[in-house]
Amino acid sequence: MISHGPVTCDLDFNRDGLTAGNIHLDHSDDAHAATLVPVPVIVLRRGEGPTVLMTAGIHGDEYEGQIALRRLVHDLPLDELTGRLILLPAFNAPAVRAGRRCSPLDGANMNRAFPGSPGGGPTAALAGFVLEHLVPLADFVFDIHSGGASGLYHDQAFLCLAEEPRLRARGIEAAAWLGAPVTFTIPASTDYGDFDGAVLARGVPFLSSEFGGGAMVSPASLGNAVAGVRRLLHWAGVWRGDLAAPGTHYVAPAPAGKVLAPRPGLFEPAFELGATVEVDQVAGWLHDVDEPLRPPLELCFRAAGIVVNRYRPALVPAGAVLATVAAPISL
Ligand SMILES: [Zn+2]
């Protein structure tokens, strides 16, 4: 039995074959006097070899990854595996069951809760359990996101560039094997409490990703996620397959690349996700909700590059990031 504050798990991670069960989060509140909240975990192991940990559902309203990992359990022939694959298709299971970004148990955003802590509340305890007890088993960790209810993403790898050369090189290589149209890069950091920075700080190669969004499932984005997951397993050495790295376009946030809503309104976009845009190109128009006679406010891009994400709802609050432009870089 492994335990980390209120989180326990009695699965045998070293057993050959398919092992499925739950991590349990001991939780008590008004709705649950005493509950062991289950977090599903699946282990596929065949002999000796590398270990890959794949996670989805850190944000409960992001679905492509949750489905891609569930699909993998049924589609991956165990006799083609060498080593071990650990899957958490619903990492933040309380948020997944509620269909919400954040946990209904404590309101916390799990991707701001790392490195976690056994006494820091349910989300931090669960984050800490995985970081302390599952990440050290892994030679590579891959995490799948999907924008959430209010975001839409051009399918992309999300790569935090570590300073340590081996971690950095493994991340760049993994992104090329994932083969998403773009790879969004930022410097690795532990300042934000995200899974990326926490795993890299433990010295384990890590790649994250964004496929689709809008709390729905795009068949095209799901297809990209499923194919990318298989290529990563092959690259990491746990699935023999017969695959090649498609490559990717590495980009970084462009200065002034965010198009912000200066006031609330109805946003009429003039661009598509993944489009290449120029400085001063019209991004769209913001219409006043209450005063139809007020001329719409024209908003322009202030940077050249690729539109990598956008705000999904038409009704936008002041400060909403309507679009993000990233510029090509070479690594
Ligand atoms: Zn997310």
CA of 62 to the centre of ligand 1 (A): 6
15 C-alpha vs ligand 1 centroid, how far in Å?
A: 31
Please identify, in words, the CATH class of the domain defined by 2-247: alpha beta
Domain locations along the chain? 2-247, 254-328
Closest CA to 43 of 92, 71, 83: 83
Query: Is 90 exceeded by the pLDDT of residue 112?
Result: yes
State pTM to two decimals. Answer: 0.97
| pLDDT of 241 higher than 90 | no
Say how many Å lie between the CA of residue 44 and the centre of ligand 1.
25
Confidence of residue 33 (pLDDT cuts 50, 70, 90): confident
Give the chain's end-to-end CA distance (angstroms, integer).
43
Ligand 1 centre and the CA of 56: distance in Å? 9
pLDDT digits 0-9 by tens, 214-236: 999 999 999 999 999 999 999 99
What's the gap in Å between 148 CA and the centre of ligand 1? Answer: 6
Distance in Å, CA 120 to ligand 1 centroid: 21
Confidence of residue 141 (pLDDT cuts 50, 70, 90): very high
Ligand 1 (ion): residues with CB under 5 Å are 59, 62, 145
- How far, in Å, from the CA of 147 to the mean position of ligand 1? 5
What's the CA-to-centroid distance between 291 and ligand 1, angstroms? 35
pLDDT bin (cut points 50, 70, 90) of residue 242 is confident
How many whole angstroms from 281 Cα to the centroid of ligand 1?
29
> Ligand 1 center to residue 167 CA distance, Å?
22
For the segment 36-57, the average pLDDT, to the nearest whole number, is 97
Distance from the alpha carbon of residue 63 to the mean position of ligand 1, in angstroms? 10
Q: How far is the CA of 230 from the centre of ligand 1 (A)?
A: 21
CA of 206 to the centre of ligand 1 (A): 15
- CA 174–ligand 1 middle distance (angstroms): 19
CA 124–ligand 1 middle distance (angstroms) = 16
CA 210 to the chain's CA centroid: 6
CA of 58 to the centre of ligand 1 (A): 6
- Mean pLDDT for the stretch of residues 188-198: 97
pLDDT in tens, 92-102: 999 999 999 99
> How far is the centre of ligand 1, averaged over its atoms, from the C-alpha of 149 (Å)?
10
Write down the mean pLDDT value for the chain.
97
Distance of CA 145 from the midpoint of ligand 1 (Å): 4
- Determine the CATH number of domain 254-328: 2.40.50.100
- How many angstroms does the Cα of residue 71 sit away from the middle of ligand 1? 19
Ligand 1 center from residue 60 Cα (angstroms): 8
